[in-house]
Structures are given as structure tokens and as C-alpha cells.
Chains A and B, each alone.
Chain A
Amino acid sequence: MDSALLPKGVKRCSFPQFSIGILIVGAVLLWGVYAMLLCWFKGLNQTGMNDSYGFALWIWADLAVIALGGGAFFTGLLKYIIGKDELKNIINFAVVIGFICYSSALLILAIDVGQPLRSWFIFWHVNVHSMLAEVAFCLSIYFSVLAIEFVPLLLENRKLDEVPFFHNLAHNMHEVMAVFAATGAFLSCFHQGSLGGVAGVLFGRPFAFREHLLVWPWTFFLFTWSAAAYGPCFTILLTKITEGITRKKLVKDNVVDLLAKISGWMIASYMVAKLIDTWYWATVTAPSRGLTFMQFYSDGNGLYTLWIIVAELVVGGILPALILTNKTLRANKSMLLLAVILACIGVCINRWVMVLQVMAHPVLPFEEWFAYMPSWQEVATTILPVAYGVILASLAYRYLPVFPQERELNPVNG
């Protein structure tokens, strides 16, 4: 039915089968849209947030998807600026994932603010001292860059490519893509960093606050570094999931191995920096505010106790770094998969604690730990971008030449 739109020389499932899959995920999407409309029309009383938990699940989801989507800018940097040419075989997918992640983040932000129609105030009445303003500017511009990076791939659709103008436009855009990759990397460094700065500048919140270098707290640099380190793991994980669903090999092992190796060393170096940061914070910064390390991990509800820092730093940091930096372990498919899964969990925990544990920890000595339970509306609107992402990624895979090596790795008989 849609065969004229499919890329040449590759096999796709039947249109009805594809449609059923999309409809199932579409139902989840509609559930999320319903919850989103509730939040917009009835207000944020639909959430489980309160005055002590002004930042919660949504802000975590924003930070997490942006960190995971960091694979786009870092892979682009490696391919176009540093010259790791093998990565051309995975860069398209990284860009698609990045586009999904960043559009999701913008959508969640649009739901998260109390007066969405005033969102433009952040640009019009901007406070240049605010990390959130820096986030908004860089994130919006970088999303535009991602959209531009996505265009040539869209134009390579079989039907669109038949139009000479689109064909030439795509070709010319490929030629200048290094400029956009460099712009993307520059912007990403700032918005990833400023997302870290959002927590790090909170000098009224000793769990989040970090010492500064110039105008930026350490979390600024840690967030940029971790997004570059962990983002490619998410790209690899989604590639493996796509390969599993399509039951095809889509990217050659040497490409995945190169990205995994670079990611591994980035995580390893990030972990060194993160451990130094944690040590300094625990022994110098926090005590100067009258707090001991263990006071931050004594949540009576059991959620914010030592297990969470072990899960973040050891299970989600040191362990994947060890696996990914070791050639033998990396070559083992199961170990590779384990490492990228742990890495993704690790960076998500980091973003979680830098948002929710900050809110949960009582700063006033006579207060107790604050508890928070997201409402179904928050959960649904957080799942909404996942459903949207699955649909967009499925459409991209079906109709666009996302994986350049697919044809070679999966020759179609006849």
C-alpha cells in the first residue's frame, strides 16, 4: 500500500502490521494527550506536586531525555568535527533520537509551567542571571539546529528524493552539515551545562549547591560531560532495540564498538570528575553549611538512602565504564547491552537526585523529609513523549534511509 514510499532495497513489514503497531502506541499517546489537556485546562492541581515539591517528575523527565538525547550532539561532534567517519552509519539515528528527545523536553516544559500562554515571557522579560533562561535560549536554538539536521534525512525519502530540488537541497545540506554539527555541539555544551547549573546555583539548597568556576557551578560542567558520555549509550541501546524489533542487523559491529569505546572512556573520565565533586561536596561544601554527608541520605521513607548514590555512581557509572573500556567485555553482546542499560539508568538516577532529592531534603532543621507521589496525569504526560518517540522513530525507520548499512547487511533476494 505504501511501498512507493519505502526506501529502495530494504524489507519492511506489511502496512497493516505496521498500522496495528502504530495504533497500539497511538492509544497510549492519546492517553497522554488527554492528561496533557487536563493539566492545561484544569491546571497543575492535576499533579502530585506541592509547594515543597515545585520541581518533580516532569523536570526529571526533561533533564533525563536531554541527557539521553545528548548522543546527537556528541556523535555529530565526533563525526563532523573530530572526523570519526565510521559514525556516519549511526549519526542519522542519533539525530532522530535527539530530535525526539528535545521536542519531548519542550513539550513537557510547556505542560509544566503554570501559565503556558506566558511561556514567551522567558524570552521577552529575560533575566540573564537565571540558568533557566540560558536553558530556554540554548534549548530552543539547538532544537532548531536538530530540525535542520533532520531535514536532509527527511528529503531522502524515496518519493521526495525524486523531486530534483529536494534531492539537491539534501545534497547541499549534507555538504554544510559540519557547520550545524559544530553549532549544535556549542549550543549543547551550554544548555546541558545550564541544566546542571539549574541545581548547582541553588545556594539555599545544600544538596544541590556546588562551588563555582567563574559564573558556573561544577554541576554545569558535570552535566555537559555526562550528557556527552551517556548519550551515545542511549543511541546504542535504541539501535539494539530497533535491531531486536526488526530482527535485522542495522549497524555494523565496528561502528557500535567505536561509539561504545568512546562512550566508555567518557564515562570513566566523567566518573573521576564526579567522584572528586562528590568528595569535595561531602567533606567541604556541605559541612560549611552545617550538614554531614549522611544527613542527605537519611530519608525516613527509605527512598533517599545510601543505595541511591551507590546505584548512581557504582552500578550506573563505574560498572558500565569498566565494561565499555574493556575490549573483550565490550565485544560480548550481552555485556555491551548490560553496560548501555546500566549507563542509561545511571544518568537518569543522577538527574533524578539533582531534581527530586534536592526537593525532598529538609533544609530547615525542624522540618522532615518531604514525600512526593506523582499523579496519573503526570505519569501519563511523561509516557506521552515515549509513545510519540516510538511512533516518530517507527515512521522514520519505515520511510527514511536511517541506517545506511541496512541494505548491505540485509540483502533482499531478487
Chain B
Amino acid sequence: MNKTHNTQKAKKYGMVIDLDKCTGCGACMVACMAENNVPFKKDETNKLDSITWMHLYKLTNGKAFPETEICYLPRPCMHCEGAHGHPPCVSVCPATATDYDHGTGIVSQIYTRCFGCRYCMGACPYHARYFNWWDPVWPEGMKEYLSPNVSPRMRGVVEKCSFCFHRYQLAMDKAYHEGRKELEEHEYQSSCTQACPAGAITFGDLNNPDHQVHKIARPDNEHGGKPSATNVFRLLERLGTNPKVYYMSSREWVRRLGDNYLPHEKTGEIALGKQKGHH
């Protein structure tokens, strides 16, 4: 957590999800599960103990027909930066089984070190962390189809979205082999991004002004990465989690559901300076 890093070359991988484009098809979820060897049960009806690194929420404006509107909100791990690389989950893990990588901005999970105390799950306000309540049981023959790049997890440990970190490693391996130290934007993309048929997900380096994610979200790093683009917001911005997943929607009610507001407060007008206290 305290390792030194070269801030000049540091990446900050993140995502922008256009909620006006998302159709709720679930392709991102399926792609994520296949890519990351996410285990599943015979009966997945209880969503509270099913593992979905990419989870799809269905939002509604709460109005009666014909004014009813719905919006689907895909929710991966937010890879929060918190204040100075202290996401809610990383600072609480007693065994350093989860870490914030200052080189990529990715919050990692070390499955073989996690001993299953679940404190990180309690700390995450996005419910992005999942516990393996069971050992994974793969249907006949499916083991042959598991990805060799992602280690399957055992019972009793926590897992979560890694922004397909193995893809980053593979891309970096290739780049090194070719004598490069930097990746092209297209070389590292998460599986959900590539699977989305509507092109709702954009992935890249938020620190790189040439990357689409930066152009769309225009993160203000002077103010904890707060988006300066119109209609772009982050979930629970005012908690100070400093997430790296941005959302955009032209609909005000959708943006308002992205955070908690007092009745008199206007959507998007949050005084971040009021937050203090956590370290």
C-alpha cells in the first residue's frame, strides 16, 4: 500500500458507462463471468449470495404509466482511489489481501491471502465484493473451458472485479516483448467493454488526455477525480470514495439516483469540501 511509485507514468484505469445506451442485455455480465472464471450455482435465484462481478441494477423513476422510465445500471468494482490510494476496502483488510496499485489505479484481490473475514465487504458501499460461500462446482467438462489466465477461487474467500487485470498483464508482456513500455489504448480493454453490443462502456486511462475515458469524463484530479463533463457522475460521489467508474446520462432522475441528496440539494451540486475525517 505504501510502495513508492512513479506518478508521472502512473496510469489510472477507469471506465465511463453511458446509461442512455445501456439496454440491460446482460452481455457484460456474461462476458465477465466467462472471462474471469466466476463460479455459479445450480440455483441462482438468491442474488444475495450469487457472484456477479459485473452486476446489473434496474432503476426506475418511480412514476406511474405512461411516465414510467427505467434505466439499467451496470456496476463493476469502482476501483476507488479514496484519499491518497486508501479505498474503503483496502485500508480495512487486516491481512493486506487487497491492495491499491498506484501504477494502474486497480484495486487487487489476493485470493490466496484472503482469509475470509469479510470486513472489506462491509466497507464497500457498492456491494462490489462477493464471498465464496461454496466451493466452485463446474458442470461436466466445463473445467476444460476455464481461462488459464485467471485463478479460480476457493470457498471462504472474497473476490471482485479486477478490471480484467490479467489482460493488462498479457498486454504488458506483449509490449515488453516488442520493446515498448507503454500500451496503446486498444491493447488493454476489459471483457465487459468489448462485449457490450451497444458500445455503452468505454475503458481506458483516465490520466491520459488522448484516451476516450478522459475525453468523456474529464476528471478533475485537483478535486478527487470529480467529473467536469456535463451529465457525467459517479456513484456516491460525496462519500469520498473517489471511484474510477463514471456514468453518464442525459436524464436528471438517473443522475440523482447516483447519490444521496437532501431534499433541498440540486443534483450534481455537491460540496466535496464538506467531507472530512477519513484517512
Q: Which residues of A contact B (CB under 8 A)?
A: 43-45, 50-55, 112-116, 118-119, 121-122, 124-127, 129-133, 136, 198, 201-206, 209-212, 215, 217, 285, 287-292, 295, 358-359, 363-367, 370
Contact with A along B230-251 (1 / 0, CB 8 A): 0000011011110000000000
User: Which listed residue, A115, A206, A370, touches B115 by the CB 8 Å rule?
Assistant: A115
Evaluate contact between B157 and A114: CB separation under 8 angstroms: yes
**Interface residue stretch chosen among B143-151, B219-227, B259-267:** B259-267
Bound CA span A215–B277, Å: 9
Q: How far is the CB of B264 from chain A (nearest CB, A)?
A: 11
Evaluate contact between A130 and B119: CB separation under 8 angstroms: yes
If A55-B122, A204-B123 touch, whether A115 touches B116 (CB-CB below 8 Å) is yes
If A114-B156, A130-B119 touch, whether A291 touches B277 (CB-CB below 8 Å) is no
Evaluate contact between A127 and B95: CB separation under 8 angstroms: yes
Q: How far is the CB of B131 from chain A (nearest CB, A)?
A: 6
Evaluate contact between B115 and A121: CB separation under 8 angstroms: yes
| B214 located at the interface, meaning its Cβ lies under 8 Å from any Cβ of chain A in the complex | no
If A44-B131, A114-B155 touch, whether A121 touches B95 (CB-CB below 8 Å) is yes
Evaluate contact between A54 and B157: CB separation under 8 angstroms: no
Bound CA span A50–B46, Å: 9
| B171 located at the interface, meaning its Cβ lies under 8 Å from any Cβ of chain A in the complex | no
Interface centre among A130, A136, A209 (most CB of B within 10 A): A130
Taking CB atoms, residues of chain A closer than 8 Å to B241 are 203-204
Evaluate contact between A54 and B122: CB separation under 8 angstroms: yes
If A204-B124, A288-B238 touch, whether A118 touches B91 (CB-CB below 8 Å) is no
Bound CA span A187–B254, Å: 49
User: Which listed residue, A132, A212, A287, A370, touches B119 by the CB 8 Å rule?
Assistant: A132
If A115-B114, A115-B116, A130-B91 touch, whether A44 touches B277 (CB-CB below 8 Å) is no
- Majority-rule SS of B interface residues: loop
Q: How far is the CB of B124 from chain A (nearest CB, A)?
A: 6
Bound CA span A1–B270, Å: 75
If A115-B114, A204-B239 touch, whether A366 touches B257 (CB-CB below 8 Å) is yes
A50-B48, A132-B92 known, 9 other contacts, Cβ within 8 Å: A50-B49, A119-B115, A133-B94, A203-B278, A204-B123, A285-B277, A287-B262, A290-B261, A364-B235
Q: How far is the CB of A254 from chain B (nearest CB, A)?
A: 44
User: Which listed residue, B46, B93, B124, B239, touches A206 by the CB 8 Å rule?
Assistant: B239
| B174 located at the interface, meaning its Cβ lies under 8 Å from any Cβ of chain A in the complex | no
User: Which listed residue, B46, B82, B157, B278, touches A212 by the CB 8 Å rule?
Assistant: B278
Bound CA span A100–B76, Å: 43
**Interface residue stretch chosen among B10-18, B30-38, B132-140, B182-190:** B132-140
User: Which listed residue, A113, A204, A365, touches B259 by the CB 8 Å rule?
Assistant: A365
Bound CA span A122–B117, Å: 10
User: Which listed residue, B46, B57, B82, B124, touches A366 by the CB 8 Å rule?
Assistant: B57
Q: How far is the CB of B166 from chain A (nearest CB, A)?
A: 22
Bound CA span A399–B115, Å: 40
Q: How far is the CB of A119 from chain B (nearest CB, A)?
A: 6
Taking CB atoms, residues of chain B closer than 8 Å to A126 are 94-96
